[in-house]
Structure 1
Amino acid sequence: MTATLDTVFAALADPTRRAILSMLLEDDMAVTDVADPFEMSLAAISKHLMILANAGLISQEKRGRVKWCKLEPNALRDASVWMQGFGQFEPINLDAFERFLEQELSDPAPDQAETG
């Protein structure tokens, strides 16, 4: 599992590869469509895609003459489980926190209530 995690985290370390993964959240994409938003060569994008594929984060399939990329939804499962081990604190309930702040900010402070 350690080697797999190393490969996944190495793949995620690059902002271009993270952007590619975000794009693939929407739908499968042809390699040329993946490359469009980036100011780099198709060869450079292909290298990024190969790293993502080697990490198991995406799969590639040739359909006719076009190579398509697909996000592998379960690829981050091991990394997620590993990271959850560091979740020593309960997740923050933002709605409850917002209500608490609203109440605290709307109630006058005890010192101001007596002098007001």
Structure 2
Amino acid sequence: GGDAASSGAHIAEVLTELEYSPTNAMAMSLLWEVHVGAASPWAPYIATLPTAADLPTPLLLDADRREALFGHTAVLRLADRRRRGAERSHHALFVENLFRFYASTFDKDAPVWSR
């Protein structure tokens, strides 16, 4: 249990640990397909998986973090926000500066990072 703020804190803490593992990426994808439901092309396969009630512990997390598993919509929302933030950072730090570097090679009067 716990209030929404503590559940959100658990979810954020869990995402920090889950984000980089290929296994956990697959688990997050599975949670997304469960969220999509009958519209998912994987629905017939998902229907054969054990439900939360059949599992002795949550699929991804230990028992005192059950709300993070069963609140998979919130997990996905936070993961998407982190992914979009990472993409923006990558674009700002790498792509734009790389463009400026190459653009400056065609303008001999401009310093490399001046644009």
TM-score by length of 2: 0.37
Higher helix share: 2
TM-score by length of 1: 0.37
Higher strand share: 1
Structure (1 or 2) with the larger CA radius of gyration? 1
